[in-house]
Structure 1
Amino acid sequence: MIHFHNILVLWVFLYGFFTTGVYSKTNSQDVSSLNVMYNSINSRSKLSGWKSSGGDPCGDSWKGIKCSGSSVTEIDLSDLGLSGSMGYQLASLTSVTRFDLSKNNLNGDIPYQLPPNAKYIDLSQNGFTNTVPYSISQMSDLETLNLGRNKLNGQLTDMFGKLTKLKELDLSYNSMTGNLPQSFGKLSSLKKLNLQNNQFTGQITLLVYTPVEDLNIENNRFSGWIPNELKGINIKSGGNSWSSGPSPPSPPGARRNREGGSSSQSGGGKSSVASGLTIAGIALAVLLVLAIIIALFSRRRRSSTSHLLDDDRLSQRKSFGASYSSKELSRELNSSFRNKDPGAVSIDIKPVSKSPSIGFKSLSGRLQSFARRSTSVKATNYALADLQVATANFAPARLLGQGTIGRVYRAKYDDGKVLAVKKIDSSLFQGSAPQEFSDIVVNISKIRNANIAELVGYCSEHGHNMLIYEYFRNGSLHEFLHMSDDYSNPLTWNTRVRIALGTARAVEYLHEGCSPSTVHKNIKSSNILLDIELNPRLCDYGLATFHQRTSQNLGMGCNAPECTKPSAYTAKSDVYSFGVVMLELLTGRMPVDSSKPPVEQCLVRWATPQLHDLDALSEMVDPALRGLYPPKSVSRFADIIALCVQREPEFRPPMSEVVQQLVRLVQRSSMNMREDLGLGASRHSSAMSSAKEDLAASRRLTDF
């Protein structure tokens, strides 16, 4: 009996020991993210307990880390004198609700991806530059955002439409410019707003739509009047260019009506407010009774078509940025944005996960817009001998293409796997450091995005340096547009818009989602591959070092005017090159075509003066479309091109703004598809007819 008792005690002890060990083990994604963050910070001695690889943040009580179970929930590293950056895997910290790195010396861009479910973010009093990352637009649980006292600049994009829980926003003491975005008016929970000591311009009228109680807008360049509805709150407004005299009436639909909101209100103000509320209450009661009566009658008339309406509402949640087949796109364009505010610029983006099939990525859940990073960096080291066999010793018959820095070959293995091997010209490595190629591989392997061709491996043997990528059987956009014969199926207009948006998201990710940001320097249609669903995959990224060493740039027609040599490229040069790709999608013409008349040989020079001429524009559209396109969509597409290909770099928009413009194009075009195509007059039946007609046209053009 005693023996049995001892065994029982031992079993209970071992069970408690092992289960405690299991439950104290931190989530592996959280550990990986914190490891990356630790390696990105320079002042590591302040982070007691942290490790560069592995470890147990929850079990070992890392400095500033709080957990719930095995998940990291809070990161508080405020006022530790940290320098460097925050790393690139913060999006994996899905359980973090509080993220505070204020009062440090962190610098560079704010990472494009922050903890996606955070409620409290404080990055104030650092040295962050550039602008507010657009990915914040998807952080719908955010309640407090403090980015004050940094070195942020540029304009705020329209990113606040989904932040309905945001209570406090601080952007003070930066160098932000431009007008307040319209989505500020949708901050329905906002109580405190600090914008002082920036360079904001325009009026503040849209703030009357918010419940803000504490407002500091001192020392900006605001103009116009301070609305009466804001005069009764705690407001600091000095140092601006306000107009004199009484302010004009509030805009229609303003929700604010505070007592004492205007300094000129009479003593009868309170009674008028009470009367107004009484009238509003009576009106609401009448509307409620009418709604009940209508509902009772409508239930009798409800038919089996109700499920179609439910499906239509559900379809509004689908993502335009996801992988759609060309057959489905027209239907999705009609349903995805129906009945939405044209001013809203938010789109739900679904992340991708690797599929066993080559060149295809499947949907797997809902996360932010813009691009995704992998939680781990994987690049396989391929043996030179194996690559020689797979490419038939780099035979000419396996050559896929040739560029300024090397050649690309098709490698086919016995198990059916096919890869693309980029063999870099060995002359580009003369005089370079031995570890340069390995550094490039590491940097490229970190770049993971739904619209970027993935690096799967590398080879560095006997003076041969090669990068191995996914292989896409559909080839490049250049081949689709310029090398198809009369019997090939051309790309539909909707597919062209999808390719433009996907490519724009890829470039936006390189510019604003990478740490550090990356300038592509070689954007052209031959570097945009198409997977089996005709989704774009940008390639040749991360090789700017080699492009800078060549004596060539993209060549006439693709490179921006300021780029007289490869070293002159900037992010705005990428924007110009992307505009040229959009011109190719619009016209079906090559950037330079010597077979055309002299005035038409350079695409940009020929097309730019005509982009705002509707009659000329209709003549410019690719004849392969056979007139199957919405004219308004084409016009808006041309407007975006005109912005991108401006001669002066400073006037070109950043890629994040180009993405937003393309999103708006999709949104507005799909809402107006019926008018643009001249279809039908009835409401529901016409919308269904429009979708069927455009889908049928899409099938005729791209029925793969």
Structure 2
Amino acid sequence: MHAESFESSNSVDVKTPQKAPPPADFAQSLNDNVFASRLNSKKGGAARAAVPYALSDLQSATASFAAGRLLGEGSLGRVYRAKYADNKVLAVKKIDSSYFHDSNKDGGDEFSEIVASISKVHHPNIVELVGFCSEQGHNMLVYEYYRNGSLHDFLHNSGDFSNPLTWNTRVRIALGTARAVEYLHEACSPSVIHKNIKSSNILLDLDLNPHLCDYGLGTFHTRTSQNLGVGYNAPECTTPSAYSMKSDIYSFGVVMLELLTGRMPFDHTKQKSEQALVRWATPQLHDIDALAQMVDPALRGLYPPKSLSRFADIIALCVQAEPEFRPAMSEVVQSLVTLVQRSSMNMKDDLAASRRTEDLDY
């Protein structure tokens, strides 16, 4: 669903929020951490620490978390659109309090550790954490907001308000997302296993660059009986605690399959043999003729066949049933870079052909 469709008729515009002083112990916990920029970040300058937001300000900006401001709902809580009078827009994620171990303390200590950890993550393909709120039993994370919505929106819910993503743009989205996961796995210390890689967690900016969100919350995913969603879970993930970096690789491979085919990971409207995307697609990934039949019809044949074939080869490696045979994400990044180089692709392709066509004003 397109993010701009969530405007509430009774919402109110308020001034840019005043930053509330957090509880003393929470502020001290954050101050004890050094928010250093990680390598690969193109933001430059000193790292930006997340700042506290007042609950009252977020309530005003979201029209008291009105249904009309709801951007989405995941296994850990709901995400709302916060709008201010100066046109500043943010995304506010409310984490369900039931996922904190110590409910008597409203999860404050644990939440402060999560905020401090996420605040260290800075990468051009990762959604930036702007701030947090921890008041009256509410624990919320405040992020950058992207008007173009998610990759899932573009591929599966776009309807008539956007043109299909071009092949070059799809490859660029895959490469940018792979770089984000590589950063989490191999540049962060300790390494961050995402545990929730899916197309709805890949947000697109106005130039259709990808930004991975929902990172740093893996500890909660091990406590929920819910999984990523049908079609994204690797075969070894029979329990949340079985998740590993190689499970992230599998989920990323599923996202690449979505980019290639335009299909959802699981689609009950298809005939039974085609409902599970990985099961249906995997046997055909090395068959040139079959590959041409399974590529997203929205592309209308406008793609380089060799590039498509190489893209499919990378997918085949990522979605292997045995985790030990899946590549590291740095290898996936290099394979995608090589694909681009060999194809002599212009990564600044006709972006206009992939842009949404409706008015993007706030």
TM-score interval for Structure 1 and Structure 2 normalised by the shorter chain:
0.7 to 0.9
Matching residue within 322, 330, 335 for 1:648: 322
Q: Secondary structure at the match of 2:222?
A: helix
State the Cα deviation string for residues 337-375 of structure 1 (Å, max 9, x = none): xxxxxxxxxxxx8x533xxxxxxxxxxxxxxxxxx8x63
Q: Does 1:352 align with 2:42?
A: yes
* 1:420 counterpart residue number: 91
Describe the shift of the 1:423–1:448 C-alpha distance in structure 2 as closer, same or farther (beyond 3 A).
Answer: same
1:555-574 alignment to 2 at 5 Å?
555-574=229-248
State the Cα deviation string for residues 32-88 of structure 1 (Å, max 9, x = none): xxxxxxxxxxxxxxxxxxxx99xxxxxxxxxxxxxxxxxxxxxxxxxxxxxxxxx99
* 1:632 counterpart residue number: 306
The residue type equivalent to 1:624 in the other structure is A
**Equivalent pair of 2:61/2:84 in contact (CA under 8 Å):** yes
Larger Rg computed on CA atoms: 1
**Any runs of at least 4 consecutive aligned residues in structure 1 with deviations exceeding 3 A, and if so which?**
698-704
* 1:491 counterpart residue number: 165
**Equivalent pair of 2:35/2:119 in contact (CA under 8 Å):** no
**Equivalent pair of 1:378/1:445 in contact (CA under 8 Å):** yes
Q: Does 1:545 align with 2:219?
A: yes
| CA–CA separation in structure 1 for the residues paired with 2:229 and 2:79 | 19
| CA–CA separation in structure 1 for the residues paired with 2:65 and 2:201 | 21
User: In the TM superposition, what is the alpha-carbon distance from 1:524 to its structure 2 partner?
Assistant: 0.1
| CA–CA separation in structure 2 for the residues paired with 1:571 and 1:471 | 27
* 1:406 counterpart residue number: 77
* 2:287 counterpart residue number: 613
| CA–CA separation in structure 2 for the residues paired with 1:88 and 1:494 | 35
State the Cα deviation string for residues 291-330 of structure 1 (Å, max 9, x = none): xxxxxxxxxxxxxxxxxxxxxxxxxxxxxxxxxxxxxxxx
| CA–CA separation in structure 1 for the residues paired with 2:316 and 2:78 | 33
The residue type equivalent to 2:224 in the other structure is T
User: In the TM superposition, what is the alpha-carbon distance from 1:568 to its structure 2 partner?
Assistant: 0.8
**Equivalent pair of 2:165/2:353 in contact (CA under 8 Å):** no
User: In the TM superposition, what is the alpha-carbon distance from 1:619 to its structure 2 partner?
Assistant: 0.6
The residue type equivalent to 2:62 in the other structure is T
Describe the shift of the 1:390–1:699 C-alpha distance in structure 2 as closer, same or farther (beyond 3 A).
Answer: closer
How many equivalent residue pairs?
Answer: 322
**Equivalent pair of 1:611/1:638 in contact (CA under 8 Å):** yes
**Equivalent pair of 1:492/1:702 in contact (CA under 8 Å):** no
**Equivalent pair of 2:108/2:134 in contact (CA under 8 Å):** no
Q: Secondary structure at the match of 2:115?
A: helix
1:308-319 alignment to 2 at 5 Å?
none
* 1:664 counterpart residue number: 338
The residue type equivalent to 2:175 in the other structure is L
| CA–CA separation in structure 2 for the residues paired with 1:617 and 1:580 | 16
Matching residue within 53, 74, 81 for 1:382: 53
User: In the TM superposition, what is the alpha-carbon distance from 1:434 to its structure 2 partner?
Assistant: 4.0
* 2:256 counterpart residue number: 582
Describe the shift of the 1:703–1:563 C-alpha distance in structure 2 as closer, same or farther (beyond 3 A).
Answer: closer
Q: Does 1:468 align with 2:142?
A: yes
| CA–CA separation in structure 2 for the residues paired with 1:695 and 1:510 | 28
User: In the TM superposition, what is the alpha-carbon distance from 1:553 to its structure 2 partner?
Assistant: 1.0
* 1:455 counterpart residue number: 129
The residue type equivalent to 2:49 in the other structure is K
| CA–CA separation in structure 2 for the residues paired with 1:531 and 1:701 | 12
| CA–CA separation in structure 1 for the residues paired with 2:159 and 2:126 | 28
Matching residue within 391, 394, 398 for 2:62: 391
State the Cα deviation string for residues 140-192 of structure 1 (Å, max 9, x = none): xxxxxxxxxxxxxxxxxxxxxxxxxxxxxxxxxxxxxxxxxxxxxxxxxxxxx
Describe the shift of the 1:695–1:558 C-alpha distance in structure 2 as closer, same or farther (beyond 3 A).
Answer: closer
* 1:118 counterpart residue number: none
Describe the shift of the 1:552–1:436 C-alpha distance in structure 2 as closer, same or farther (beyond 3 A).
Answer: same
**Equivalent pair of 1:454/1:469 in contact (CA under 8 Å):** yes
The residue type equivalent to 1:352 in the other structure is K
Matching residue within 197, 218, 229 for 1:523: 197
**Equivalent pair of 2:169/2:349 in contact (CA under 8 Å):** no
Q: Secondary structure at the match of 2:186?
A: helix
* TM-score normalised to structure 2 length: 0.85
**Equivalent pair of 1:456/1:468 in contact (CA under 8 Å):** yes
Q: Does 1:603 align with 2:277?
A: yes
| CA–CA separation in structure 1 for the residues paired with 2:238 and 2:251 | 14
Describe the shift of the 1:574–1:664 C-alpha distance in structure 2 as closer, same or farther (beyond 3 A).
Answer: same
**Equivalent pair of 1:88/1:514 in contact (CA under 8 Å):** no
- Structure 1 residues 447-456 or 434-443, which shifts more? 434-443
| CA–CA separation in structure 2 for the residues paired with 1:562 and 1:695 | 38
Describe the shift of the 1:469–1:596 C-alpha distance in structure 2 as closer, same or farther (beyond 3 A).
Answer: same
User: Larger relative contact order (C-alpha < 8 A, sep ≥ 6)?
Assistant: 2
User: In the TM superposition, what is the alpha-carbon distance from 1:565 to its structure 2 partner?
Assistant: 1.4
Q: Does 1:444 align with 2:114?
A: no
The residue type equivalent to 2:218 in the other structure is A
Describe the shift of the 1:702–1:467 C-alpha distance in structure 2 as closer, same or farther (beyond 3 A).
Answer: closer
**Equivalent pair of 2:35/2:49 in contact (CA under 8 Å):** no
Describe the shift of the 1:384–1:581 C-alpha distance in structure 2 as closer, same or farther (beyond 3 A).
Answer: same
State the Cα deviation string for residues 529-560 of structure 1 (Å, max 9, x = none): 00111000000000001111111111321010
* 2:24 counterpart residue number: none
User: In the TM superposition, what is the alpha-carbon distance from 1:430 to its structure 2 partner?
Assistant: 4.2
Counting aligned pairs with the same residue, the percent is 72
User: In the TM superposition, what is the alpha-carbon distance from 1:429 to its structure 2 partner?
Assistant: 1.6
| CA–CA separation in structure 2 for the residues paired with 1:570 and 1:624 | 34
Q: Secondary structure at the match of 1:435?
A: helix
* 2:210 counterpart residue number: 536
RMSD across aligned positions (CA):
2.1
* 2:297 counterpart residue number: 623
* 2:184 counterpart residue number: 510
| CA–CA separation in structure 2 for the residues paired with 1:501 and 1:457 | 28
* TM-score normalised to structure 1 length: 0.44
User: In the TM superposition, what is the alpha-carbon distance from 1:695 to its structure 2 partner?
Assistant: 5.3
Q: Does 1:482 align with 2:172?
A: no
| CA–CA separation in structure 2 for the residues paired with 1:465 and 1:703 | 34
**Equivalent pair of 1:559/1:577 in contact (CA under 8 Å):** yes
| CA–CA separation in structure 2 for the residues paired with 1:637 and 1:514 | 27
